[in-house]
Structure 1
Amino acid sequence: MKTTYIASAMIAIALFASCKGDTKTTEKEAEEVVKEVKKEVKEIKVEKLKIGLESKSDTKTTGSIIFEESEGTVKMMASIQGLSEGTHAIHIHEKADCSSPDGKSSGGHWNPTAQPHGAWGAAEGYHKGDIGNFKADAKGNGEITFKTDQWCIGCGDEKKDIVGKAIIVHQGTDDLTSQPSGAAGKRISCAGIIK
């Protein structure tokens, strides 16, 4: 986005220079364009939050998650280690409390709109915390990237704000239909989403 603004400023400067014979006027107009571009670039707010996963349920599953919000969209990038090979579920849960050994202190899935559990975007409904599944390789490493405009970082909207919730990684696969949580098995890693 910044590149677009800067390119626009350069084009505007070139046009001013080619159309005006008076270099003092051209310089002044070019300075105004650059100021406007800088102002617009500053107005683009990027909120970033990095959290670390801790192992639960006697596993060695850890990792890190980055949340980044820009222009109304939150992107989640998770890198997880110490998994068994195969498919695992990942969800946002109600509370940023990872104090219990089994991760159950984080509560159930985050579901501020009181919908049934399901695949993200399903017409039948889904929880705002129903991220879904990802695969781990033979070395126990897995990654998932997820983007949505239905979350925010610290905006205060109880139906969108992920701060104060927790990320849970499960031992098994979310079947995307079983109520209320997809029958994904033990909670093997947890991280509170805290600013």
Structure 2
Amino acid sequence: MKKMWLCLPIVAALSACAGSGAGGANAMAGAEAVLKATQGNSVAGSVVFRQEGNTLVVMTQASGLTPGAHGFHVHEFGDCSAPDASSAGGHFNPMGKPHGKPGQADSHAGDMPELVADAKGNVRQMDRLTGVSVNDFIGKSVIIHAGGDDYKTQPTGNSGARVACGVIAAK
């Protein structure tokens, strides 16, 4: 029995060491949103958010889109219950900035690079964002829009209807 008690401090120390290094505890932080189609659409997929130090890695897999560009944003409410996903509210914008390209001084915290679907309507894309963290997005929703984002039209980028919505939950 005494040998067991001697091992516990060593196991605890090893566990603490495994979580250290580049990014510390944040290196393992993550969240996921399962995408569900809005009424009249057939989009399905997921978005995984992973914190790597000061960078938020966003990995998106989706199918059922039209080929080409699609606006892609984090919205203010974690609610996809409305048939058109209007329950998700507007873009996540805690600083009250204008809509723009992600990473620019003037952009919403929820502005993300647009998704580009291939000829079969599939997306498999990885983006890296700075200035936001996974914790900023947990409890919000992610929306894929019908069209591309012009990054100019206020406040939404003229991306069209919402074709998919997913609530972002800690993973």
Residue in structure 1 matched with residue 63 of structure 2 by the alignment = 81
Deviations 1:26-74 (A, max 9, x none): xxxxxxxxxx887543233211223210000310011111111132322
SS for the counterpart of 1:66 is strand
Displacement after TM superposition at 1:134 (Å): 2.0
SS for the counterpart of 1:132 is coil
Distance 1:169 1:59 in 2: 11
Distance 1:143 1:109 in 2: 23
Deviations 1:95-148 (A, max 9, x none): 00000000110000000111001111334x100111031211111101222222
Residue in structure 1 matched with residue 19 of structure 2 by the alignment = 42
Stretches of structure 1 lacking an aligned partner (at least 5 in a row): 1-35, 155-160
Residue in structure 2 matched with residue 129 of structure 1 by the alignment = 110
Distance 1:140 1:192 in 2: 22
The normalised TM-score by structure 2 is: 0.82
Distance 2:94 2:63 in 1: 30
Structural mapping, 1:20-169, within 5 Å: 39-43=16-20, 44-45=24-25, 46-123=28-105, 125-154=106-135, 161-169=136-144
Distance 1:180 1:112 in 2: 13
Residue in structure 2 matched with residue 171 of structure 1 by the alignment = 146
Deviations 1:120-178 (A, max 9, x none): 1334x100111031211111101222222322233xxxxxx111111000000111100
**Between Structure 1 and Structure 2, whose CA radius of gyration is higher?**
1
Structure 1 range deviating more: 36-45 or 63-72? 36-45
**Among the aligned pairs, what percent are the same residue?**
35
Question: Contact 1:57–1:187 at 8 Å: present in 2 too?
Answer: no
Stretches of structure 2 lacking an aligned partner (at least 5 in a row): 1-12
Question: Contact 1:170–1:187 at 8 Å: present in 2 too?
Answer: yes
AA partner of residue 44 (structure 2)? T
Q: Cα RMSD (Å) of the superposition?
A: 1.9
Question: Contact 1:164–1:192 at 8 Å: present in 2 too?
Answer: yes
The normalised TM-score by structure 1 is: 0.73
SS for the counterpart of 2:169 is coil
Q: How many residues align?
A: 154
AA partner of residue 53 (structure 1)? L
> Which of 1 and 2 has higher RCO (CA within 8 Å, sep 6+)?
2
Bigger fraction of residues in helix: 1
